[in-house]
Amino acid sequence: MSKEKVLAPLQLPKDAVKKASIGHSFAEYDLIRQNSALFVETPAIRAALDVNRPKCFFVGRRGTGKTAVTFFLQQKNAKNTILLIPQLLAAADEFISTDWSSEDVHQQPFKTLVCSFKRAILDEVLGEWIKQGLYRFRSSDTNISRERNIVEQQEFDIRLLDFVSDGFTFLERNQHREWLKFINRPKAIAEEMDAEAASSRHKFTVLIDRLDDSWNGSDKAVVLVMALMHACMEINATVGCVRTLVFIRENVFERVRSIDKESSRLETAVVSLEWTRELLREFIERRLNRNLITKGALGGPTWNAFFEVEPGKSSEDEVFEYCQYRPRDVLLYVSSALESAQAHGRSRITQADLKAAKKKFSESRLKDLSDEYADNYARLNLMLTRFYGLGTEYTINAIDDFSRKLLVDEEIKQYCQSWIYQYSAPELLIGLLYTIGFVGIKADTGQVTYKSAESPLASMPMITQHSIIVIHPTYRDALNLQDRLITSIGDDVRLQQSGIVIDLPESISLFDYTKEIQRLQKNLQTLPTGDPSASQFEDLVGDLIKLCFFKALTNVQAKSRDVNGKVIRDWIAGNHTGIGFWQMVRQQYGATQVIWECKNYKELHADDFHQVSYYMNPIIGRLAFLAYRGGPEIKKGYLEHIRRIGNDKKGMILLIGERDLEVFLRQALNGKKSESHLQDIFDRIVREIS
């Protein structure tokens, strides 16, 4: 008999449910940042810790725990771990104009990219050696010594950009001798680093995460990711003192796999971020146990103590299958059910609480699905909401009818034209819906297979004329679907364009919203720098705040003055939201009001930072955004000013360059939230000044 079966039922204190808290659904703000006991040892974590396993790519959908694994590894061995969040991948077309989009891994352009990534990563480790006193430059005759200025004066993205530019310059000028020296340089640096690595302190793990939070999804961006992955494989195979781990979203990896002729090499190093029922149960149990003096046993007793058991019903089935076995979704759903139980003063989470959480969760999950794939399928939410009020199951003919109606839908044609015509055939549309986890395929036995129930890289079941397409239960409440099979959608049936509210600012249509975003994009590209157009830049930033951050920031006011009329802030906005990033800065910096200062020039000055810091005070908060026309490099002088303000006022200034403004606008156009890019900016600056 197993140990679990002989354990006595856990008796909860009367106020256990009242005091319970689950945590935040985003790892960046979650309890795991301060409490390592909440981590669950998953196969992905074990693979990341095992230096003898040739695994370096951790692939999973949003919310499967990629960023959480990086936090675990950093806490486990902080001194020998480096976290990189490359920014160059976000806008490759802007920074590198050379035509280098060759996908052939044997061609010179691709080798140039791979070698550039290898050298930039090795230099990052070398820079950390120097910071920690593990290495001192001695002779000027070594390859390592010749990297000194690059290591000490440049951050990762600028270093990478310079390497790529140098390599392609050699190719364009037919300087074959110089190009051969260029591609051999990383190997020579690696050999010298291995010779210098006298102890385990010299062995570093480089974590590369959040590649897609702000990228533009262009073909060049995909080739860059592919080059990065090949570079990491080569480093892991040939460099003893450096190990790289790349955390990548499934939709990005699929783009790479679709164009890489040697993707099989990459797949041998892939770890899928899969969660089983047992791991998810432990994931929740550890959090429910957190506030208990006497901890309940894991493996079922704690779960059963907090969740009411009804004959013939399983609360685990109700949660895990409904949430597609994804930890973030499970956390959101259970947290909502817990809030319901607390609001009703219950001693346990009941089926009624789970049912009450369903509608709220379903609507949130549908929006998140569209946001997750916005870079691949702009305004995906428009297509998904066309299912509103229809059925839960469809024949192939019904999907064909649905597809035909989409192609004559004016909104779909206007906002989804970049991708919708590639999926006009019913089997292609089904493939898309299956890949994103929106539908499953019902077999003749009646069993339904969803993407979430298998490996993220598993292929879709075979589709025949007799196949039945089933919308996942997660989305049924949000779409108000009828529990019936749709065999056809006649000409007299009009797909609904209402029922689900698309996130837009008040009193504006999607047409006008899109038009305004496109106007700002064009103005940003053509607006000259300098004082004569400074007011126009201020207006542009103000419009961007209203259009891109309308869910989080309210009461946006221009030229805000203090009570004495002496302090004039370009823009100030109220921050009273519970959205992750904005909630975090409100708690950490008291930012109930957020200041935006605008500078229509590329080089910032000391006075700019003094001016912004002067605006900060305990009443409105100690957070400010400084928007300017420069970037992407954050100069060391800027970081020194931000560090001083952090020490003097306990405040934070986030630098918003022109590329960041372009990212915000592009994401808004695609229907994607921009908070993740803001988090990237915040994390990048915090790491640099710490």
Domain coordinates of the chain in residue numbers? 79-271, 276-372, 383-486, 510-689
User: Which residues are paired to 653 by β-bridges?
Assistant: 624
Hey, how many other C-beta atoms are within 10 angstroms of the C-beta on 108? 16
Nearest to 112 by CA among 56, 185, 218, 57: 185
pLDDT tens for 227-273 read 999 999 999 999 999 999 999 988 888 888 888 887 888 888 999 88
Q: So what's the pLDDT on residue 103?
A: 56
Structure tokens belonging to residue 283: 């994931």
Q: How many CB atoms lie within 10 A of CB 544?
A: 24
Residues 6+ apart with CB under 8 A from 457: 59, 250, 253, 267, 270, 272
| pLDDT at residue number 499 | 54
Provide the pLDDT for residue 394: 97
**How far apart (Å, rounded) are the C-alpha atoms in residues 659 and 680?**
13
| Angle, in degrees to the nearest 10, between helices 606-615 and 636-649 | 30
Domain 510-689 maps to which CATH number in 3.40.50.1220, 3.40.91.30, 1.10.3720.10, 3.30.70.1350? 3.40.91.30
Q: Which two tokens stand for residue 665?
A: 């606008």
pLDDT at position 454: 45
The C-alpha atoms of residue 130 and residue 396 are separated, in whole angstroms, by 62
CB 186 within 8 A of CB 223: no
* Overall residue count recorded for the chain in this entry: 690
d(CA 252, CA 250): 5
Cα within 13 Å of Cα(545), Cβ side: 27
Average pLDDT across each block of 10 residues of the chain; the chain has 690 residues. List them in order: 51 86 72 81 91 86 87 91 81 54 69 94 95 85 88 87 90 93 96 93 94 71 89 95 93 85 85 90 92 86 88 84 88 92 93 88 88 86 93 96 94 93 94 92 86 58 89 92 94 74 75 92 94 93 93 83 56 84 88 92 93 88 93 84 91 92 90 83 83
Q: What is the pLDDT of residue 508?
A: 84
Cα-to-chain-centroid distance, residue 471: 25
Distance, in Å, from the CA atom of 88 to the CA atom of 120, rounded to the nearest integer, reads 12
Using an 8 Å Cβ cutoff, are 550 and 674 in contact?
no
Report whether 246 contacts 270 (CB < 8 A): no
Partner residues linked to 246 by β-bridges: 57, 208
CA 54 – CA 270 distance, rounded (Å): 9
Query: Environment class of residue 520 by beta-carbon count within 10 Å: exposed (0-12), middle (13-18) or buried (19+)?
Result: buried
Residue 136 to residue 653: CA distance in whole angstroms: 33
Question: Tens of pLDDT along 570-611?
Answer: 899 999 877 778 988 888 899 999 999 999 999 999 999 999
Q: What φ, ψ does residue 196 adopt, rounded to 5°?
A: -85, -20
Q: Is the dihedral angle over the CA atoms 74, 79, 85, 86 positive or is it negative?
A: negative
Q: In the Cβ-directed half-sphere of 78, how many Cα atoms lie within 13 Å?
A: 3
Strand partners, 244: 206
Its pTM stands at: 0.78
